[in-house]
Structure 1
Amino acid sequence: MDTCLQELTLEELKSYAPVIGVTDAAGQKVGQVEKDLLLYLLSMSASWMLAEIMDRFQEAVIAIDRHGRIFYLNSSYSKILGVSLGRLIGRDIRQVEPGAEIINVLEKKIPVFQEKQYIKTLDKYVSARIYPLERGSEFLGVVSIFQDTTVEVKLGEAVAKANEIALNYQRQAEAQEQMSRLEIIGKSPAFMKTVSQALIVAKTEASVLIKGENGAGKEMIAKIIHENSGRKTKPMILVNCAAIPENLIESELFGYEEGSFTGAKAGGKMGKFELANGGTLFLDEIGDMPMAMQAKLLRVLQAGEIEKIGRQRNIPVNVRLIAATNQPLEQMIQEKTFRQDLYFRLNIVEIDVPSLKERREDIGLLANHFLQVYNRRYEKKLTFSHEVLTFLHTYSWPGNVRELKNCMEYAVIMCSGELFGISHLPPHMKQLVGSEEAAGAEVMELAGASVQPVGQSYQGGPLREALGALEKKILIEAIAQNRGSKVRAMKELEVSKRTFYRKLKEYGINGSEKDT
């Protein structure tokens, strides 16, 4: 007996012969099946049993029809998302979870697999597999199967964070080791970050653009990169683009052949690129390079060969280029004074060198280092006075480390005794000290107090009065050191505005809250 199984009910099937022939929709016989097996399978496929099986899944399951209405949810869905199934069955998924990925699959009918999807409203991560439901060419809806991966994701993030911290410590340790080897002074976070970046990029062949103020130490960072690179056994050649006349810069960089122009040396001359072949070429003050020369430099970087003046054939060169500038190259590009294509060629990795005022933790270390260097050079034994140390830490250092170094040498040369005092500072610094003292004296006069060191000895009397006198002097000196600015003094002392002005009133230190 042949039949189309899709057309049979369970009761009709029971009356059939033990072996049933199966036909397709066109009436063609396609096989046969035992009646008892078929009855068993149909009885076990009851919807309640399927639901029981699905509820044992740890994964959440949600199914929607082609119109977006939810027609199935298992119990894990309720557990993971913390919602009652009865509140969701029959509702439109667009209202329940607007913006959910299942809606995109409903519209595009393309499967989606997501390893880490964040559900903001629940602060949870889920891993989801979303499939269109189809029977033949008919689109029926979408099913989404997902599981809660919040613990795994957050554990992974914690491990990644721990690894990052460990890597940072490793880099800092490596930076400290290299700084010690190269006799580089510094411990401030900003400077340590710069050195760490230099050590990272040193292991590559990438071009580097070093930015920073004059005297901040750009050349030193370039040397760190070279000394820790695969080219450290080869030469590092330095070129100051601002110091070479425009009509000579091409011959300086590329060299020339004998007799190539009037005045050319016998035998010709090797250029900086040839001298640096296999090693590193450091172009300082790259922003001062003429536009015509920028075009030729770009061509060299692209082709890997130089065109020597007076030579017919180009010469291949293998150099790593490090450039440095204190100028705003981005602004110069807008002003058409620096080539944008050269900028991007140079600036594969950018490193910013902090100014000395951005690394104040290093001022004392650097000052003492340079003082000892020049003590040995000039056979002296200078030490810092308290006033000089205070000045060094409050001065703005527009010339950065270079200015500090020059200041120490000047003082060692000019000082005939063993104490480095204010009078031994360079003239332009002593002028600033005078203006600061005048500002401080004005504040003291307003306060009706004389300048005394904060750490003066105990003169007797109740502890409360002694502490009050000390607190008053701290306030007065903080204002004096900030050139009369109460706002800056308040920030330096790290006290609230209300407390600060209450103390001024309490100790009779005049001034309004409008002072800046």
Structure 2
Amino acid sequence: MSVMIEPEVIFSSMRNGIIVVDQDTNVMLMNASAQKLLKIQENEYAGEKIHKFVPNTEVQKVLESGESTIGVKMNINGVPCMVNRTPMYQDGQLIGVVSVIQDISQMEHYLSILKNMESIIEFSTDGIYVVNKDGETLLVNSAYENITGFQREELIGNHMANLMEKGYFDKSVSLLVLEKKKQISILQNIGGRKEVIVTGSPVFDASGDIQMVVTSVRDITQLNELKKELKKAKSFSEISQNRYSYSMQGIDERIVFTSREMKGIISKVRQVAAFPTSILLAGPSGTGKEVIANLIHHESNRKDKPFIKINCGAIPEHLLESELFGYEKGAFTGARLEGKIGLLELADHGTVLLDEVGELPLSLQVKLLRVLQEKQIQRVGSSKIKQLNIRIISATNRDLKELVEQGRFREDLYYRLQVVELNIPPLRERPEDIEVLVEHFFTHFCRLYNIEKLLSDETKAILQSYHWPGNVRELKNLAESMVVSVPSFKIDPEDLPPHFHKFASPDTSLNLKQRVEQYEKRLILDALQKHSSIRKAAENLGVDHSTIVKKLKKWG
């Protein structure tokens, strides 16, 4: 059953003060909130002039002009207030004025706090956005302007709902916080072009009412982009204890490692990448030399310039010169009529990766040396010389020193290419990386193909014990094969290729350190069987002679 509510009840219940005066400024009505603010009793105002209670009132101006006054700040009995005055008409005749008075003392208090905090907030790397209890914007810091591209002048004073309508953002966490009265985090789209994560936190007064909402804003448009210095979106972070990952903007690859050797290589890359120095990457096939080359390029100031990769062993020798240096029209039979720009010239101001550089014929080595020494290039069939600004990264799985001794590689070119040399160790020499790489690639392919699979502990132990002649490339290919070709949810040892079976049945009660030691022992014993002395076995394994002696004594 509906209940009829008298207008007087509604009038008396309103939180804002309401005062009605006639055309002679006599008080006709005054609700409880106004009486409390003016500190008078219910019957004290009848027939009195408004000036008696509010000496600084401007109600006479409204009676004289017949126009409203909105948002006038004034002090009533020591309380800061905001007053709206509206003229009352009846049959076209001005008969009085209605004044609505809002106590803004709490808001003034919080604005004062905000003013004091503003200089601190300006230093925040997070965007800060503050609204009042009505959802109107009070404060915006510089970080918010930088993140969103919006200026505070176009936001302050505007209601969040109006800003949403105008397309500034797709949703407002501030309005949600005002509704739910608790801290809330959401993803927000800024202007239809950028995604941010916003966390709105309510600020309560002593009565438990929300006075304002403070929102922190973080840009997540690019991976892990939190601050200006991370705009490259490159990160070097510890994923878990003694495990590291290095990722590159725009490159769907990650160098995952835990070994001291790889940590040292990544550290060296970060140190030298900014300089145009030639770098030689040496190591067996499949160790990730190209991935390291990508990292060098993307860590350098050439990252936005061309990165040309040339496999010197894949291009036929008779075509290699014209591919590298280009040619003019009519330079030789079969040449394009318009000529062709060479790969080195295409990379001007960028980076060139010469993969399998040990396969370069001697005739081209001379020309490449000229490029490195004089920074010049000359197309086949041309007399013109072009200045060239490139950074050379070379990669090889061969021993270039040995090739120099055999007369198959120029010594002067070798030293030009090898200003900085990084030796990427095979996986068998850094077995502590095997477990994290298996986990990384297995998880990657499960996500890529939207498949759920699980590696059994026995399978993990076998993979840890395997010697990986194909290095990281072999491991990555095996991970993909296990994900797509094994029908069962759990991948057991019998699901592995046959050549893995001889590494089966390890003692799964051993911890990782013990398993690594077990694998290390097998490698050393195999090397001792193949070589006539401990010293030669040590050379083969790339460790010091004394290291093997100490380990043999330890194992009895």
Q: Given the two structures, how large is their TM-score scaled by the length of structure 2?
A: 0.47
Mapped contact 1:259–1:268 kept (Cα < 8 A)? yes
What does residue 302 of structure 1 align with?
A: 373
What does residue 326 of structure 1 align with?
A: 397
Partners of 1:226 and 1:452 in 2: CA distance? 43
Mapped contact 1:380–1:418 kept (Cα < 8 A)? no
Give the CA deviation at 1:497. Answer: 7.0
**Which SS does the other structure have where 2:317 is aligned?**
coil
What does residue 390 of structure 1 align with?
A: 461
Mapped contact 1:410–1:425 kept (Cα < 8 A)? no
Q: Deviations over 1:172-210 (max 9, x none)?
A: x97548814463211211001001111111121111111
Mapped contact 1:175–1:199 kept (Cα < 8 A)? no
User: Which residues of 2 match residues 239-318 of structure 1 at below 5 A?
Assistant: 239-318=310-389
Give the CA deviation at 1:328. Answer: 0.7
Q: Deviations over 1:204-225 (max 9, x none)?
A: 1111111111111111111111
Residues 1:420 and 1:306: Cα distance change in structure 2 (over 3 Å): same
Partners of 1:321 and 1:452 in 2: CA distance? 47
Task: Detail structure 1 runs of 4+ shifted over 6 Å in the superposition.
Answer: 485-488, 494-498
What does residue 406 of structure 1 align with?
A: 477
**Which SS does the other structure have where 1:184 is aligned?**
strand
What does residue 259 of structure 2 align with?
A: 188
The answer to whether the aligner puts 1:431 opposite 2:511 as a matched pair is no
Partners of 2:305 and 2:553 in 1: CA distance? 59
Of 328, 339, 350, 2:421 maps to 350
The answer to whether the aligner puts 1:235 opposite 2:303 as a matched pair is no
Give the CA deviation at 1:436. Answer: 4.2
Mapped contact 1:210–1:324 kept (Cα < 8 A)? yes
- Number of aligned residue pairs: give it: 289
Q: Given the two structures, how large is their TM-score scaled by the length of structure 1?
A: 0.51
What does residue 179 of structure 1 align with?
A: 246
Paired AA for residue 393 in structure 2: I
**Which SS does the other structure have where 1:313 is aligned?**
coil
Pairwise CA RMSD? 3.5
Mapped contact 2:311–2:356 kept (Cα < 8 A)? yes
Mapped contact 2:452–2:489 kept (Cα < 8 A)? yes
Q: Deviations over 1:308-349 (max 9, x none)?
A: 012221222110111111111111111101100101111111
Partners of 1:230 and 1:478 in 2: CA distance? 45
Q: Deviations over 1:214-251 (max 9, x none)?
A: 11111111111111112112111111111111111111
What does residue 41 of structure 2 align with?
A: none
Partners of 2:366 and 2:527 in 1: CA distance? 51
User: Which residues of 2 match residues 46-125 of structure 1 at below 5 A?
Assistant: none
Mapped contact 1:280–1:319 kept (Cα < 8 A)? yes
Q: Deviations over 1:40-79 (max 9, x none)?
A: xxxxxxxxxxxxxxxxxxxxxxxxxxxxxxxxxxxxxxxx
What does residue 335 of structure 1 align with?
A: 406
**Which SS does the other structure have where 1:213 is aligned?**
coil
Partners of 2:552 and 2:421 in 1: CA distance? 39
**Which SS does the other structure have where 2:257 is aligned?**
coil
The answer to whether the aligner puts 1:365 opposite 2:433 as a matched pair is no
Paired AA for residue 246 in structure 2: M
The answer to whether the aligner puts 1:419 opposite 2:490 as a matched pair is yes
Partners of 1:453 and 1:284 in 2: CA distance? 41
Mapped contact 1:414–1:424 kept (Cα < 8 A)? no
State the percentage of identical aligned residues. 40
Q: Deviations over 1:408-453 (max 9, x none)?
A: 1111221001112223323xxx2342x345xx7xxxxxxxxxx986
Partners of 2:551 and 2:430 in 1: CA distance? 24
Give the CA deviation at 1:379. Answer: 2.8
Contiguous gaps of at least 5 residues in structure 2:
1-233, 239-244, 529-546
More helix by share: 1
Partners of 2:518 and 2:314 in 1: CA distance? 44
